[in-house]
Homo-oligomer: A and B are copies of this chain.
């Protein structure tokens, strides 16, 4: 049984995930120790060791929790929206994260760092794939609904278009969030909508 499946109360899990995110931002993944994570939470290091065997269990728990956090946040926004097209654009805007809370920007930057370590750190690969698949599936779901409802063209491939949008959102983390190139962020937001309008919306 993976340690991340051991029963950890929901509130504690969220607190631990936040601590991992903050510790990653301060120390980076390669340098990260369990005691640095403990310093970012009110839980003791003993509590962390009881529930998580290794640093990588803690990092996996952070990635799992960030999917849950993102899912809740995306649902809150999209539940009010009526069409798949409105929902898709809202998902892109949220994940672009320009005006998002620091926590969300921190998750995006932490995921980017973990991705850079994945080639040499096998234990990171599976939780990161799950994370990337979640985002792609969430985007593809709206695109598929849009095609079915005749909003998007029949020849739009939901998976390919979702991957393309996801790569653009992932790539913006470096320039827009890490380097603060805000003009790039505004350009990207407009180009995403132009892509949806020009290549996906059915104009017939």
B25 touching A28, Cβ below 8 Å: no
Given contacts A160-B190, A163-B188, A191-B164, contact A174 B30 (CB under 8 A): no
A40 on the interface (CB 8 Å rule)? no
The interface residues of chain B lying within 8 Å CB-to-CB of A190 are 160
Given contacts A120-B25, A168-B171, contact A163 B179 (CB under 8 A): no
Q: Among residues 2 to 30 in chain A, which have CB atoms less than 8 Å away from a CB atom of chain B?
A: 25-30
Of the four ranges (under 10, 10 to 19, 20 to 34, 35 or more), the interface on chain A belongs to: 35 or more
A150 on the interface (CB 8 Å rule)? no
The interface residues of chain B lying within 8 Å CB-to-CB of A119 are 25, 109, 177-178
Q: Among A26, A111, A115, A169, which residue has the most Cβ atoms of chain B within 10 A?
A: A115
A187 on the interface (CB 8 Å rule)? yes
User: A107-149, CB under 8 A of B: which get 1 and which 0?
Assistant: 0011111011111100001001100100010000000000000
A191 touching B163, Cβ below 8 Å: yes
B132 touching A175, Cβ below 8 Å: yes
User: A164-204, CB under 8 A of B: which get 1 and which 0?
Assistant: 10111111111101110100100110111011001100000
Q: Among A128, A168, A190, which residue has the most Cβ atoms of chain B within 10 A?
A: A168
Q: Closest 8 CB pairs between A and B? A: A28-B30, A171-B171, A170-B171, A113-B116, A167-B171, A115-B174, A164-B191, A160-B187
